[in-house]
Chains A and B, each alone.
Chain A
Amino acid sequence: MDLDWWYIGELVVNGANAGLMYSLVALGIVLIYKASGVANLAQGALVMTGGYVVLALAYDAGLPMWLVIPLSMVILFFFGMGIERIALRRMAGQPLIMIIMLTLGLEILLRGIVPAVWDRGGESPIIPLTLPADSIFIGDMLINTSYLLGGVIAIFLVILFVYFFRTRIGVVSRAVSDDPVAAWSVGISVERSIALSWGLAAVVSAIAGALWGSIQGVDWTLSLLLLKAVAVAILGGLDSIIGAILAGFMLGIAENLAAGFLDDIVGGGTKELVVASVILLTILIRPHGMFGREDIERI
């Protein structure tokens, strides 16, 4: 069989960029985990909410996109902080599993409420991020410019967050994550630090919502990105920002290659199999992921 290298190249490049966009969604999980040790299962719905806010500002309010993006980031920041203040803070001292269940409840609640609030009568508008071209062709290889933009923004944000965790506030967040009681005893505001992580995760969601909404339109299905984000976060290591970016990169390429070559044969759906396999194999073989911190507890 002759291999079509242009096709393989296309699958790899677009898969890598799409994977980096998964990383963007996964960043929300990693940020909150790093700050509070909680796996945020509401991240898919936060991305969906981000998409709807961008849409409302762009379509309903008619604001220009250069204003819509920063404005939606500000709105989502306070939305994320609000979630922590209203829901999460009450759970202080409760078993971790119940806090995780709370985030799952939030995911389900937002999936139901947000599309109902911004009901568009069955329409799923695509967010108009004006790009110079829909695609770039190199030989017979198509590069999806929306994915490319998403990939570049994801890398930029990762660099930003790596530096953030080296700033004073970032170090405080890490201290809270390491030992909240010790952090509290030396005068660190644990609540504020966790609230900040929720705010930042929501800001990332606004960006992810806008980017994914520019590709697949805005409706409740944006929240399904949760599964990909969970796979990326697990593979990369729940507390590793660098891990999230590399895992997204790998997952995107793997699922695109699988779909490109196997979907025709098995009748579709191989991307989901890749995602499921990544989650299962990582947990079975290396539970802390590629770059996650391995905590060994003495008993």
Chain B
Amino acid sequence: MKKSLAVLASILIIFSGTAVSDEKPPIKYGLTLDYTKSYVFATPSVSQAIEDYRNYLNARGGINGHKLEILNSDHGNEPQRGIEAYERKKREGAIVFEHFSTPVSKAVLPKAMKDKNVLLQTLTGRSDAADGEAFPYAFPIAPTYWAMAANIIQYIENNTKDIKKTKIAFTYLDFPFGQEPIPVLQELQKQLGFELKLFPIALPGTDQSGVWSGIRRFKPDYVVAWSISSLHNIALTEMTRNRIPIEKYISVVWASRLDLKSFGHERAKGVKRVEAVATGTEIPIIQEILKMYDEGKGAGPRENVGTVYYMGGIAEMSILVEGAKLALNQFGEPLTGEKLKKGLELIRDFDANGVMAPVTITSSDHQGGGKTRIAEWDGEKWAPITDWEAAHTELVWKTIKEHSAKFIKENQ
């Protein structure tokens, strides 16, 4: 009896061993985010989206049979911790990374390029990393702030009788994120002839009263705001106080439904923002993810699903998965950083079924075309009021090339 049990056990071990060896190894994704310092306004939603998408994907067999494994940790927006986390996850087998932090992405970039690992940096990191020739392993896969600024000016141009008589106030957080669009705006001012005035907001951005007094006196036709999170709430309160119509407010991509909550969703009607991704819960993939929430399998609060930060995570995952599929189909197993890079560069007109603007990534363009649209808050949701488009692309690419050339020169 004992002997036959041992034989049976041996057979089971042999077969289960075969089953394990048949299972394809996971694709490891190093996700180190800032969960504790500067980016906490967005990271919980981004992380939630990535985990939801991973669960959705793996439940359907993963990427060509490879499960996606996320190696998650916190870097606190500190470059050194980010580098340590990158090295640790690299040792654990990750071939693709996201840090969702400009200082950390910048610090990790040279290492990722040397190691030939893919560095995703959606809406963070170096904007000139859009230049795939200079930064072959960095993938912003979203419009740069230069592209967003240019597209906003195009919207204003399309909606004003005479752009030369139009006054645009640019209010921005006075650090690199806020300052970045200034050269493009100033160049467009020269080309188009509108009046531009800059209104810097000192960090942390909570004291804006003096800034809005100045803006009121400038009497702008539009206010373009490079701000984040709850600072929009303060800006809109000050606009109301100064009797500046809030319909004139056009925000950078970082304005969400949640950010308007304190100001009042009904009161915020007419506020505009530039969008790099679609938002809301009507998108097919979001409908599928919400079914997981109905079963109690969501990765976080249900109200985050479909917000701009959440959709940023979904867009990134959609592109990553598409790139990985193309790489595996075209270049075969095993998936490496080099193959994934080439796979991402094969993506053409991909919008993940309504998640974002159609994206085309090439070996020279890693931002994917730079298309955005303008959406307006209608009291309940962000309603698109333009199509996806990329404007003033020559100027945007001239700016990208100027900056990437500096990087190449400094690193020769």
A residues contacting B by CB (< 8 A) are: 4, 7, 10-11, 14, 18, 121-126, 134-135, 137, 140, 142, 144, 147, 215-217, 219, 221, 224, 256, 259-260, 263-264, 267-269, 271-272
Q: Let me know if B202 and A122 touch, CB within 8 A.
A: no
Q: Let me know if B258 and A123 touch, CB within 8 A.
A: yes
Contact of A11 among B44, B210, B234, B261 (CB under 8 A): B210
Q: Let me know if B204 and A221 touch, CB within 8 A.
A: yes
Select from chain B the residue with minimum beta-carbon distance to A59.
B262
Known: A121-B304, A137-B243, A264-B198; 8 extra A-B contacts, CB below 8 A, are A7-B213, A14-B213, A121-B301, A123-B262, A126-B234, A126-B262, A147-B209, A217-B206
B241 to chain A, nearest CB (A): 4
B317 to chain A, nearest CB (A): 21
Q: Let me know if B258 and A267 touch, CB within 8 A.
A: no
Q: How far is the CA of A135 from the CA of B214 in the complex (A)?
A: 15
B154 to chain A, nearest CB (A): 26
Q: Let me know if A124 and B214 touch, CB within 8 A.
A: no
Q: Let me know if A14 and B209 touch, CB within 8 A.
A: yes
A-contact 0/1 string along B217-242, CB 8 Å cutoff: 10000000000011001100100111
Q: Let me know if A217 and B234 touch, CB within 8 A.
A: yes
A270 to chain B, nearest CB (A): 8
Q: Let me know if B209 and A144 touch, CB within 8 A.
A: yes
Q: Let me know if B217 and A4 touch, CB within 8 A.
A: yes
Asked if B180 is an interface residue, CB under 8 A from chain A, the answer is no
Contact of A267 among B174, B216, B234 (CB under 8 A): B174
Contact of A142 among B42, B242, B262 (CB under 8 A): B242
Select from chain A the residue with minimum beta-carbon distance to B261.
A123
Residues 23-51 of B at the A interface (beta carbon under 8 Å)? 40-42, 44
**Chain A residues whose C-beta falls within 8 Å of the C-beta of B200 in the assembled complex:** 263, 267-269
Q: Let me know if A142 and B216 touch, CB within 8 A.
A: yes
Q: Let me know if B233 and A271 touch, CB within 8 A.
A: no
Interface of B (DSSP majority class)? mixed
Q: Let me know if B229 and A124 touch, CB within 8 A.
A: yes
Asked if B201 is an interface residue, CB under 8 A from chain A, the answer is yes
A162 to chain B, nearest CB (A): 29
Asked if B207 is an interface residue, CB under 8 A from chain A, the answer is yes
Q: How far is the CA of A264 from the CA of B240 in the complex (A)?
A: 22
A147 to chain B, nearest CB (A): 7
Q: Let me know if A216 and B42 touch, CB within 8 A.
A: no
Contact of B207 among A7, A142, A216 (CB under 8 A): A216
Select from chain A the residue with minimum beta-carbon distance to B197.
A264
Select from chain B the residue with minimum beta-carbon distance to A115.
B40
Q: Let me know if A122 and B174 touch, CB within 8 A.
A: no
B111 to chain A, nearest CB (A): 30
**Chain A residues whose C-beta falls within 8 Å of the C-beta of B42 in the assembled complex:** 122
Q: How far is the CA of A271 from the CA of B44 in the complex (A)?
A: 33
B14 to chain A, nearest CB (A): 51
**Chain A residues whose C-beta falls within 8 Å of the C-beta of B262 in the assembled complex:** 123-126, 217
Select from chain B the residue with minimum beta-carbon distance to A145.
B241
**Chain B residues whose C-beta falls within 8 Å of the C-beta of A219 in the assembled complex:** 230
B residues contacting A by CB (< 8 A) are: 40-42, 44, 174, 197-202, 204, 206-207, 209-211, 213-214, 216-217, 229-230, 233-234, 237, 240-243, 258-259, 261-263, 301, 304
A248 to chain B, nearest CB (A): 15
Select from chain B the residue with minimum beta-carbon distance to A140.
B217
From B211, B213, B216, B243, residue with most partner A Cβ within 10 Å: B213
**Chain B residues whose C-beta falls within 8 Å of the C-beta of A216 in the assembled complex:** 206-207, 234
| Contacts A125-B262, A224-B204, A271-B202 given; does A217 touch B44 at CB 8 Å | no
Q: How far is the CA of A219 from the CA of B263 in the complex (A)?
A: 15
**Chain B residues whose C-beta falls within 8 Å of the C-beta of A264 in the assembled complex:** 197-199, 214
Q: How far is the CA of A271 from the CA of B210 in the complex (A)?
A: 10
Q: How far is the CA of A216 from the CA of B230 in the complex (A)?
A: 9
Q: How far is the CA of A135 from the CA of B44 in the complex (A)?
A: 36
Q: Let me know if A217 and B240 touch, CB within 8 A.
A: no
Q: Which are the 8 A-B pairs with shortest beta-carbon distances?
A: A268-B200, A124-B230, A216-B206, A268-B174, A122-B41, A134-B241, A125-B262, A135-B241
| Contacts A122-B42, A123-B230, A268-B201 given; does A221 touch B242 at CB 8 Å | no
Q: How far is the CA of A95 from the CA of B243 in the complex (A)?
A: 54
Select from chain B the residue with minimum beta-carbon distance to A133.
B241
Contact of A18 among B40, B206, B209, B242 (CB under 8 A): B209
Q: Let me know if A144 and B214 touch, CB within 8 A.
A: no
Q: Let me know if B233 and A217 touch, CB within 8 A.
A: yes
Contact of A260 among B210, B243, B261, B263 (CB under 8 A): B210
Select from chain B the residue with minimum beta-carbon distance to A4.
B217
**Chain B residues whose C-beta falls within 8 Å of the C-beta of A217 in the assembled complex:** 206, 230, 233-234, 262
Q: How far is the CA of A14 from the CA of B174 in the complex (A)?
A: 22
**Chain A residues whose C-beta falls within 8 Å of the C-beta of B243 in the assembled complex:** 135, 137
**Chain B residues whose C-beta falls within 8 Å of the C-beta of A256 in the assembled complex:** 210
Q: Let me know if A268 and B209 touch, CB within 8 A.
A: no
Contact of B44 among A121, A126, A263 (CB under 8 A): A121
Q: How far is the CA of A260 from the CA of B199 in the complex (A)?
A: 10
A93 to chain B, nearest CB (A): 37
B145 to chain A, nearest CB (A): 17
**Chain B residues whose C-beta falls within 8 Å of the C-beta of A134 in the assembled complex:** 237, 240-241
**Chain B residues whose C-beta falls within 8 Å of the C-beta of A18 in the assembled complex:** 209
Q: Let me know if B241 and A142 touch, CB within 8 A.
A: yes
Q: Let me know if B210 and A122 touch, CB within 8 A.
A: no
Q: How far is the CA of A122 from the CA of B44 in the complex (A)?
A: 9
B263 to chain A, nearest CB (A): 8
Select from chain A the residue with minimum beta-carbon distance to B216.
A142
Q: How far is the CA of A218 from the CA of B144 in the complex (A)?
A: 31
Q: How far is the CA of A269 from the CA of B201 in the complex (A)?
A: 8
Contact of A126 among B209, B237, B304 (CB under 8 A): B237
Select from chain B the residue with minimum beta-carbon distance to A125.
B262
**Chain A residues whose C-beta falls within 8 Å of the C-beta of B214 in the assembled complex:** 260, 263-264
Select from chain A the residue with minimum beta-carbon distance to B263.
A126
Select from chain A the residue with minimum beta-carbon distance to B201.
A268
Select from chain A the residue with minimum beta-carbon distance to B43.
A122
Q: How far is the CA of A142 from the CA of B241 in the complex (A)?
A: 8
Q: How far is the CA of A259 from the CA of B262 in the complex (A)?
A: 27
